[in-house]
Amino acid sequence: MRSIYVVGTADTKGDELAYLADCIAATGMAVTRVDVGTRPSTAETDIPAATVASFHPDGAGAVLGTDDRGTAVAAMGKAFAAFIAGRTDIAGVIGIGGGGGTSIVTAGMRALPLGLPKVMVSTLASGDVAPYVDVSDIVMVPSITDMAGLNRLSRVILHNAAQAIAGMARTPAPPAVGKPALGLTMFGVTTPCVTTMVEELRADYDCMVFHATGTGGRAMEKLADSGLLTGVLDITTTEVCDLLCGGVLAATEDRFGAIARTKLPYVGSVGALDMVNFWAPPTIPARYRDRLFYEHNPNVTLMRTTPAECREIGAWIAGRLNACEGPVRFLIPEKGVSALDIEDGAFRDVQADDALFSAIEDTLKVTTDRRLVRLPLHVNDPAFAKAAVAAFREIAR
């Protein structure tokens, strides 16, 4: 029987954990109570903290054998993520916590597939929850009062949260049906290309377009890792610029990691690798103040990448693609990589583009399955979009 996992630190939130579990059990759903505390428990649970802690790569002692709370919380988060990712009987997960508990429980929730119900009742839910949710589908519920014992308001909040997770778990979303899904990356300066690609593909595929803002690329790769995509057309890899140059819309070091892990059919390109993103001009680091900028809007400022930066960016991307053993096609539009990198455009820089293209060509290990294609086109030329679609159809057979 699948069960709703009720997770919290039973050393400090025992009463709340027990009440929440009882509310869910009253709906008729099976409940599994999990302790992720780092001190002796004050409530009965089905899975004790020592069991969860044993999933840490260095064993339970790395979690429960330290007097430093910060170290213990971080270690328990890693252990809980490993523990929960291996469970096969989960109908949904609900957690409660303050700062430490929220960090631990959401670390595990982020390791779970998209679509599996996840609810986190937290004292932090009314603030910046990006570090806890990231690109997952965690529902954050403000606890309103601190979790220092049950009161008339906390009982209502926990009861409502219990009904929410029970409803999600009792009536799960139906399996996806219809056309297979593709992930595509787009920025404003590559919109014509991606729009044409979608028009060419939509008859056969469910096209899911992601805004290449750092979180967009991570969300797309999370879907790939979750088995929800059948291919990727990653035309806009601009997040790598921000990663390597300190921009505000950065990828993580794991960019392209999901492509390597899943071996999905992949078509990529150099869309918007001519720019690094910053907020309003006063936020630009002092070391960049004498560079070429373009004001995208009052709150977003774009900085043109230099030949040296382009060489680094190109080599980094090619190095990551070398780890991808599935079918890969990487297309280079020789006449420009964005709407600004065009004849008489604000970011037109042939030397920088050549440095980018050469670095990719020099670093990429070409094989039968991993190929580089140079085209005498601009990234937004309809012919380039159609070439990318043709390349994808070839490897997706």
Q: What is the pTM of this model?
A: 0.88
Residue 1 banded pLDDT, cuts 50, 70, 90 = confident
Mean pLDDT of the region 295-320: 97
Q: Which long-range contacts (CB under 8 A, 24 or more apart) does 366-371 make?
A: 369/325, 369/326, 369/327, 369/328, 369/395, 370/321, 370/322, 370/324, 370/327, 370/328, 370/330, 371/328, 371/329, 371/330
Predicted pLDDT at 175: 83
Q: What pLDDT digit, counting tens, does each position of 175-231 carry?
A: 878 899 999 999 999 999 999 999 999 999 999 999 999 999 999 999 999 899 999
Taking the domains of the chain in order of start, what are their residue ranges?
3-170, 181-395
3-state SS class at 185: strand
Q: What pLDDT digit, counting tens, does each position of 226-256 carry?
A: 899 999 999 999 999 999 999 999 999 999 9
Q: Does domain 181-395 sit in CATH 3.40.50.12030?
A: yes
**Given a cut of 90, is residue 388 above it in pLDDT?**
yes
Predicted pLDDT at 397: 81
Domains 3-170 and 181-395 share a fold: yes
Residue 378 banded pLDDT, cuts 50, 70, 90 = very high
Predicted pLDDT at 377: 98
What CATH number has the domain spanning 3-170? Answer: 3.40.50.12020
Q: To which residue do tokens 């302790």 refer?
A: 35
Mean pLDDT of the region 25-46: 96
Task: Report the alpha-carbon distance of residue 49 to residue 12 in Å, rounded.
Answer: 13
Mean pLDDT of the region 342-367: 98
With a CB cutoff of 8 Å and minimum separation 6, the contacts of 318 are 330, 359, 360, 362, 363, 364
Predicted pLDDT at 61: 96
Predicted pLDDT at 367: 98
Selection from 165, 141, 164 nearest residue 153 by Cα: 141
Q: What pLDDT digit, counting tens, does each position of 109-151 carry?
A: 999 999 999 999 999 999 999 999 999 999 999 999 998 899 9
Mean pLDDT of the region 73-96: 98
Mean pLDDT of the region 145-172: 96
**Given a cut of 90, is residue 379 above it in pLDDT?**
yes
Predicted pLDDT at 237: 98
Q: What is the mean pLDDT of the chain?
A: 97
**Given a cut of 90, is residue 156 above it in pLDDT?**
yes
